[in-house]
Amino acid sequence: MEAKHLTHPTPKPDKGAGEWKFSDLIAEPHVRERWDRVRRYFFLRESTYDMTNRCNIRCEGCYYYEGEKQHAHEAGDPEKWRSLMKSEKARGITYVVLAGAEPSLVPELLAVCHEEMPLGAIATNGLKLIPGSIGYKIHISVWGNDETSRRVRGAKQMLQRQIENYRGDARAVFVYTFTPHNIAEADQVTRILAREGCKITFNVFSSPVGYTGALRHTESSLRQTRQAMLNLLQRYPETVLYSNYNAVAHTHHLGLHALFGCSYPRCNPSTDIGLGRSFRQYRTDLNWDRDAACCVPDTDCRDCRHYAAGSAVVTARLFRHACEPDVFASWLDYVDTYLAVWVTGYDKGVNLCQRWVAPPGHDLF
Burial letters for 328-362: b for 16+ Cβ neighbours within 10 Å, e otherwise?
bbbbbbbbbbbbbbbbeebebbbbbbbeebbbbee
φ and ψ at residue 357, rounded to 5 degrees: -120, 135
CATH architecture for residues 47-316 = Alpha-Beta Barrel (3.20)
The closest of 202, 199, 62 to 125, measured between CA atoms, is 62
Looking at residue 255, its pLDDT comes to 96
Q: Is 274 left (phi over 0), alpha (psi -120 to 50) or beta?
A: left
φ and ψ at residue 364, rounded to 5 degrees: -60, -50
Task: Tell me the pLDDT tens digit for each residue of 10-65.
Answer: 445 556 656 899 999 999 999 999 999 999 999 999 999 999 998 888 787 676 66
Domain definitions of the chain by residue range: 47-316
Report yes or no: 264 and 298 within 8 Å, Cβ to Cβ: no
User: Is the pLDDT score of 7 beyond 60?
Assistant: no
Reduced to 3 states (helix: H, G, I; strand: E, B; else coil), residue 318 is helix
User: Is the pLDDT score of 4 beyond 50?
Assistant: no
* Sequence-separated (6 or more) residues with CB below 8 Å from residue 272: none
Average pLDDT over residues 205-222: 92
Dist. CA 11–CA 9, nearest whole Å: 6
Q: What is the DSSP letter of 94?
A: -
At 278, the amino acid letter reads: S
Q: What is the DSSP letter of 56?
A: S
Task: Tell me the pLDDT tens digit for each residue of 106-156.
Answer: 999 999 999 999 999 999 999 999 999 999 999 999 999 999 988 888 889
Looking at residue 1, its pLDDT comes to 34
